[in-house]
Structure 1
Amino acid sequence: MKNQKISFPLLIIIIIIGSGLYKDFDFATLTFKRPYLDIVYGISLIVGLYFLFKGKKESE
């Protein structure tokens, strides 16, 4: 297995956005507290994950 570089700043951003989504989710009612803001969080989380994994494939 080759040594693959992970973008550390991007990883920190993804962790922060993911924890924000987790905190806003209400498990009792299975809803979000602020749905419009959480949609923005979700989109940015997906885009961040896309760029994180896209960067890994280009280095191979």
Structure 2
Amino acid sequence: MENKKSLLFVFWVIAIILGVVLYKQFDFENLKFEKPALAIIYLVVFVFSVYYLVKNSKK
């Protein structure tokens, strides 16, 4: 049980950091990312971490 809590904490930290990074990299005037290839990787990991958090919150 303790291992599961620490894993959830790690995914919370990852989701928060990647959310902030994606927000900072997005150019709202041109509606584009500064580095699109890196933004795709960040987005995939961000979506996976949020999915994992939502999936485990139901239990």
Range class of TM-score, shorter chain: 0.7 to 0.9
RMSD: 1.2
How many correspondences in the alignment? Answer: 53
* Alignment partner, residue 30 of structure 2: 29
Structure 1 stretches of 4+ moved >3 Å:
none
> TM-score, with normalisation over the residues of structure 2?
0.81
Q: CA deviation at 1:41?
A: 0.5
CA distance in 1, matches of 2:14, 2:29: 27
**1:2-41 equivalence runs, <5 A:** 7-41=8-42
Q: CA deviation at 1:10?
A: 1.1
Q: Which runs of 5+ in 2 are unaligned?
A: none
| Identity across matched positions, percent | 42
Q: CA deviation at 1:8?
A: 1.9
> TM-score, with normalisation over the residues of structure 1?
0.80
CA distance in 2, matches of 1:30, 1:42: 16
Structure with bigger gyration radius: 1
Q: Which runs of 5+ in 1 are unaligned?
A: none
What letter matches 1:54 in structure 2?
Answer: K
